[in-house]
Amino acid sequence: MASIITDECQHLILILLCFFAFFCFILFFTKPTHAVHLPPSPPSLPFIGHLHHLLFFLLDKPSYSLFDILPHKFLHTLSSKYGTLLHLRVPFFPFILVSSASVAYEIFTAHDVNVSSRNLPTNEGSVLFDTSGFVTAPYGEYFKFMKKLIVTKLLGPNAQVQSRSIRADELERLRGNLLDKASKKESVEVHKETRKLVGNIVARMAMGRSFTEENGDIESIQSLVAKANSSKIMTVLSVLILGQLEKLGISWFKKRTVFKNFDRLLERFLDEHKEKPNRDRCMDMMDVLLAVSEDENAEYKITRNNIKAFLVELFFGGIDTSVNSVQWTMVEIINNPVIAERLREEIDSVVGKSRLIQERDLPNLPYLQAVIKEALRLHPPVPIIPRGFNQGCTVGGYFVPEKTKLLVNVYAVMRDPNVWQNPLEFKPERFLTCLSSGQEEERKRQALKYLPFGSGRRGCPASSLAYMIVGTTIGMLVQCFDWRIKGEKVNTDECYTEFTQTLAYPLTFTPVTRISNFDLDKSLNT
């Protein structure tokens, strides 16, 4: 009897082993037929796909811990080894990774509409990643309506002129602060000071209120933005992973106090704007959005949730990006004294020493523009752009199926040695070569290898506003101050927080006043 059982067991084990061997064979040695034309993939493992490459990367760089890993650098390493167009699979997130200027060019010229949705998961009822959001909106009626509104009204040329005095005011406030620090020989943390500047600008343009007003509400907005910012990475992970729970009706976002408080505050501001609209004077964005939401003839009926989500996205998308651009540009200027000298000569000769730099000076300051562009090339604040393919298409000779997610590593694209000479060097001169009017094609080609603001229909709608804020801030810092740092050079180690690439050790310097007295009439930024 015992021997019969043993025999049966042996058969069973043999059958199981055969199944297992067959399963392993299928898994490791065959490719699914539809994958024949898919972009290449690094070796993968069952269940975890390509996640183990992250482990290899960490083992290779013992200085990294899982929590300070820079995703764009990890993906850059992966693409340098396996190719600049890759198909990668990690749990919950299979995607196509693009890391070269030529493939990015092909995608943004031949497939722009097809990749104009982000296909990010959303969470109904939260202020961030809400289903009513603009940044997460698919390329459809709502997106097109809002984009037109942004380009023509909210951030359009008229809005930019009307809000000029807001930005000049805030720049003057920052200058005053630095003069005060300089007189006391106190140091400043650049990102803290510029966060106040940009935060106030965005808040005043969006809702007619400044962060630093003597007003408890705005104080609370600032602290809410800071709190919500500090949990951005957690937020994304939760959207990606816990987002699956939403499908089961379990909402994590709605319960988060920081988002609830944000929502409550915005609701009150909306009520106040509705009661006392600012429509006769300079309308802020909330006024414009409320007016559009009440317009019976509008092409699209935007909701209160649409308005709240959009305003929150402006805080999240506009502040840290600009702050980091200012910080990185100053680091490069301080670490390259020859560049600093040339920049100062340009500003002194164009603007002079009797008035403060203004926005309208920027077109006459090509070297300043080139320095900022070069800093954005080497240190893009948003190093990875998320998109999705709506329909199946061919890229680089490979087939990409519909609904595949797309990550464009713009950090890698802007260091691609095939299109950038000495890509790791900080050389603003590369942006000074003027193209003649007949070289339109070349101009387009150049633009598509330079992607700090993304590209196409989904590109950043505030790039010119950002250039104005960063340009005048850097201009003022160079024109009015010297900067005393500890040591010879600024440490340029990076970290990745709150979706943006930033300095691991924030830039700190003691301002030394160079010019303090301006002719106020001449300095008026009208």
- Pairing state between β 393-395 and 398-400: antiparallel
Handedness of CA 182, 184, 189, 195 (dihedral sign): negative
**453 is a site residue for ligand HEM (CB under 6 A):** yes
List the interface residues with ligand HEM, window 279-298 (CB under 6 A).
none
**Rounded to an integer, what distance in angstroms lies between the CA atom of residue 402 and that of residue 75?**
23
Question: Does 313 participate in binding ligand HEM (rule CB under 6 A)?
Answer: yes
Based on the shown chain and the rule CB under 6 A, indicate whether residue 135 belongs to the binding site for ligand HEM: yes
Q: What is the footprint of ligand HEM within residues 343-382 (CB under 6 A)? A: 381-382
The first and second tokens of residue 70, run together, are 């820079």
Residue 89 β-bridge partners: 94
Site stretch for ligand HEM (CB under 6 A), options 28-36, 53-61, 175-183, 465-473: 465-473
The reply on whether position 500 binds ligand HEM by CB under 6 A is no
β-pairing verdict for 405-409 and 384-388: antiparallel
Give the residue, chosen from 222, 238, 455, 501, that forms a contact with ligand HEM under the rule CB under 6 A: 455
| Tokens found for residue 108 | 């943004």
What is the token pair recorded at 185?
């020989």
- Write the CA distances from 2 to 11, 111, 417, integer angstroms: 14, 68, 71
Question: Which of 352/386 has CB closer to ligand HEM?
Answer: 386
Q: Toward ligand HEM, which CB reaches closer, 89 or 457?
A: 457
Is the CB of residue 482 less than 8 Å from the CB of residue 514? Answer: yes
Q: How far is the CB of 496 from ligand HEM (least distance, A)?
A: 15
Q: What is the dihedral of CA 113, 111, 379, 202, to 10 degrees?
A: -10
- The rounded Cα 291 to chain-centroid distance in angstroms is 29
Segment contacting ligand HEM (CB under 6 A): 62-70, 233-241, 435-443, 451-459?
451-459
CB of 47 to ligand HEM, least distance (A): 31
Asked if residue 428 binds ligand HEM (CB under 6 A), the reply is no
Site string for ligand HEM, 199-238 (x = CB under 6 A): ---x------------------------------------
User: Contact at 8 Å (CB) between 75 and 99?
Assistant: yes
Does 323 participate in binding ligand HEM (rule CB under 6 A)? no
Judged by CB under 6 A, the residue of 225, 465, 476, 490 near ligand HEM is 465
One character per residue 89-128, x = contact with ligand HEM (rule: CB under 6 A): ----------------------------------------
Q: What is the separation of C-alpha 110 from the centre of its chain, rounded to a whole number of angstroms?
A: 24
Would you state the structure tokens that stand for residue 491, as one six-digit string?
A: 């440490």
DSSP state of 448: T
Residue positions forming the annotated binding site for heme: 460
Q: Which residues bind ligand HEM (CB under 6 A)?
A: 135, 202, 313-314, 317-318, 321-322, 325, 381-382, 385, 452-455, 458-462, 465-466, 470
